[in-house]
Structure 1
Amino acid sequence: MNALEYRSFADAWEERATIRTRPRRRIEDDQRLIYPLSRQPLVQSATFQRACPHLRDFVLVQSLYKFINDVVIFETEIVDRTARRIAKDRFTVRFPFACRYDAMTVVVDEDYHALVAMDFLQQTIALTGLEPIALPTEIELSRAIPSALAQVPEALRDALELICVGIAENTLTDDVAAFARDDTVKPSVKGLMADHLLDEGRHSSFWARLTRIYWQGAPEVDRQMIAQVLPVFLGQYLTNDIQQAFDFKLIEALPVNETLRQSLREEVLGLAYPINHQHPLLGNILRFFRSSSMLESPCVQEALRGYLP
């Protein structure tokens, strides 16, 4: 695909964007879960199940708060920044107006997602009476993108930023879908995630198409420099450090004795996935590399050798 072949999704946005079509989601006071058990392994650990299963809902509520906090950081500090610069034609990689218009719809969508997430956080506090514990001030991408950009010449940083955001947006789509499919959680949570997913499906395609436009026109020397940095980005993006630190704070907030806390910490230490082809997010990431045509390049295949099955 070249820039002249790009077709805007403006009509689809007008007809289906959640900011155009969805009502406010109101949290239910029912017995369903507020956060999927599958997304918080701590509550399913042997020690937790044996010693403090009655604290499950506290852990799940706090885990929802972190998820919402992560969404707000991701949407407003990561995606918004890149999409807004593309929309305003302040990006080193130049795109035609149709791309820039679509980029502005991404800005609107992402800021709206952050607003909805903040609304849901306030509703949850009002329903449960539980205030959030100290939440992280950054997400994995807050570290991974700057680390990767520092490894390439300034002239390539916008292009690499585009690729990093494209990887993240294509990963997030499946992450949100897991929420939307889980029938154990409250309908409002499922609805919230289904709304988000409706927009993110459009976004993931947008970032893949823009990356494809860039990659197919990039000089081979630029492709090679960017490919060499991809493992740096993936290594930091797929780490479990921030989640682990949060889980430790969560364990510290539990009304249990120190011996039990230490046992729970040891359980958490064993939850990290290896950062290789076995990582559960790798399937989505590799799909992005294929759809953007990047994986057709020998330099990318070589750089990702440790991540390919």
Structure 2
Amino acid sequence: MTGASSVPEFWARRFTLGEWDTRASVRASEHTYLLPPDLKQQLETRHWFPPAFLPYLSHPSIEAAGQSVIHRLSANHLVYFLDYTTLLEHRIVNRAVETIVHGELDVSIPPRMKTAALQLYTDEGFHALFSNSLAEQVAGHYGITQRPAMPRRISRLNALLDQAPDRHKALAWFMVGFVSETIIARELLEVCRDALVSSVQEMLRDHLTDEARHSRYFSEVFHYLWLTLNSSQRTFTAKLLVDIILLFFEVDERWLKASLHSVGLNNAVIADILDGLTGEQATVLRARSGAGATLQALHSAGFFDLRANQQLFAQAGLVDG
């Protein structure tokens, strides 16, 4: 990278998580995230996971099966989401944060950027803790034992990172963290709009409060880094970002098939459900809808000022040409 000498001085005054000592959930939250004693009553009007994120719940065969099946499928998804989140925070996002903290990006790191990165690292450890705690409770409540040790998205991210050339490895790790944190803030915002089981609602709202700051932080760091990248690094970054963004909106087909099987749905119904969710076009549509914060961060950083980047993302279907 070209170094920070070409970066305006005002950047050194940015990169904070804003009153982290008193606002971060790891410092301020009083929630226990325990399943409520009136869980049965809550499930009469609340959900384990927002139905809007599980469009297959509206399939005629699932609706006909009744609320108990809908709740079980939602619980399956919640446990899967929480297990995935635990791995994502520990093994992906915090590894991305390490590239900032330990100077792996070969660019001058302003003190505030490093301090905020260390705070963010602490947040993500707490997110992994409460995600795992709630996942264990819900899994125990329903007797959910089929929990993938490695969700497909984590495996796909690891494979993508393994393919990155050594000279770009740290940059690739940061970009995965950047996309993850800008996407999850939007996801959590949408998730929190629904009436959920109280402990789930509390956990997701605490998570959202933190991730809104993380999204802003990663967006600012991306902007800072983008100004320092040379032509080769920018070309690598642009192509990698397309792959990362699309990857985040793929469906874990094997897990979903197993979840649907677990409630007794037949193969024809499962095939019909998967047909509507899988495939390149379905992935692109989900990405265009869910990656808005990521795309806005790219726009704000001047990423799309390069015509080649605009064309690359348009060709992938992520933006209009």
Q: Residues 144 and 3 from structure 1, CA distance in 2 versus in 1: closer, same or farther, beyond 3 angstroms?
A: farther
Question: Aligned with 1:34: secondary structure?
Answer: coil
- Is residue 106 of structure 1 aligned with residue 108 of structure 2? no
> How far apart, in 2, do the equivalents of 1:8 and 1:235 lie?
27
Residues 178, 222 of structure 2: 8 Å contact kept: yes
- Corresponding position of 1:265: 271
> How far apart, in 1, do the equivalents of 2:9 and 2:172 lie?
18
> How far apart, in 1, do the equivalents of 2:286 and 2:96 lie?
30
Q: After the TM superposition, which of the residue ranges 91-100 and 115-124 deviates more from structure 2? A: 91-100
- Is residue 58 of structure 1 aligned with residue 72 of structure 2? yes
Amino acid at match of 1:19: V
- Corresponding position of 2:148: 135
Q: Residues 278 and 254 from structure 1, CA distance in 2 versus in 1: closer, same or farther, beyond 3 angstroms?
A: closer
Amino acid at match of 2:69: L
- Corresponding position of 2:29: 22
- Is residue 291 of structure 1 aligned with residue 309 of structure 2? no
Amino acid at match of 1:5: W
1:193, distance to aligned residue in structure 2 (A): 0.8
Task: Could you list the structure 1 runs, at least 4 aligned residues long, displaced by more than 6 angstroms after superposition.
Answer: none
- Corresponding position of 2:3: none
Amino acid at match of 2:301: S
Equivalent positions of 1:45-124 (< 5 A) are 45-51=59-65, 54-124=68-138
- Is residue 274 of structure 1 aligned with residue 274 of structure 2? no
Cα RMSD (Å) of the superposition?
A: 2.4
1:263, distance to aligned residue in structure 2 (A): 1.7
> How far apart, in 2, do the equivalents of 1:204 and 1:25 lie?
24
Identity %: 17
> How far apart, in 1, do the equivalents of 2:319 and 2:295 lie?
8
- Corresponding position of 1:301: 310
Q: Residues 66 and 17 from structure 1, CA distance in 2 versus in 1: closer, same or farther, beyond 3 angstroms?
A: same
Unaligned segments of structure 2, at least 5 residues: 1-6
Residues 251, 265 of structure 1: 8 Å contact kept: no
> How far apart, in 1, do the equivalents of 2:48 and 2:57 lie?
13
Give the aligned length.
301
Residues 168, 233 of structure 2: 8 Å contact kept: yes
Residues 75, 110 of structure 1: 8 Å contact kept: yes
Q: After the TM superposition, which of the residue ranges 89-98 and 299-308 deviates more from structure 2? A: 89-98
Amino acid at match of 1:263: V
> How far apart, in 1, do the equivalents of 2:290 and 2:209 lie?
20
- Is residue 37 of structure 1 aligned with residue 78 of structure 2? no
Q: Residues 247 and 170 from structure 1, CA distance in 2 versus in 1: closer, same or farther, beyond 3 angstroms?
A: same
Question: Aligned with 1:182: secondary structure?
Answer: coil
Q: After the TM superposition, which of the residue ranges 153-162 and 276-285 deviates more from structure 2? A: 276-285
Q: Residues 89 and 219 from structure 1, CA distance in 2 versus in 1: closer, same or farther, beyond 3 angstroms?
A: closer
1:99, distance to aligned residue in structure 2 (A): 1.0
Residues 251, 264 of structure 1: 8 Å contact kept: yes
Unaligned segments of structure 1, at least 5 residues: none
- Is residue 5 of structure 1 aligned with residue 4 of structure 2? no
1:199, distance to aligned residue in structure 2 (A): 0.5
Q: Residues 5 and 112 from structure 1, CA distance in 2 versus in 1: closer, same or farther, beyond 3 angstroms?
A: same
1:188, distance to aligned residue in structure 2 (A): 2.1
1:60, distance to aligned residue in structure 2 (A): 1.3
Amino acid at match of 2:146: I
Q: Residues 138 and 289 from structure 1, CA distance in 2 versus in 1: closer, same or farther, beyond 3 angstroms?
A: same
1:79, distance to aligned residue in structure 2 (A): 0.3
